[in-house]
Amino acid sequence: MIKNQSYIAHVRKTDKEQQSVATHLQEVAEIAKTLAAKINVPEAGELIGLLHDFGKYSVTFQNYIQSGT
């Protein structure tokens, strides 16, 4: 288990800035909600956005992303 650190979703190549999984999922959820509203299902879009990368909370992915940074 990973202790005392945030879960990382992405690391920007240009400046090595890290984006947390929580921030990534929230930002994608907002975009997906806006797009899904065009077909009258904003809540479905938001939920899909929140869940689309949920696996990045796994120890396996966190070990992978840490090894690359």
Token code pair at residue 45 = 């879009």
Residue 12 has a pLDDT of 86
Quick one: how far is CA 54 from the chain centroid?
A: 7
Domain range summary for the chain, segments of one domain joined by +: 8-68
pLDDT digits (tens, 9 = 90+) for 21-58: 999 999 999 999 999 999 999 999 999 999 999 999 99
Residue 68 has a pLDDT of 76
49: amino acid identity, one letter: G
pLDDT confidence band for 2 (50 / 70 / 90): very low
pLDDT digits (tens, 9 = 90+) for 7-23: 999 998 899 899 999 99
Q: How many CB atoms lie within 10 A of CB 55?
A: 10
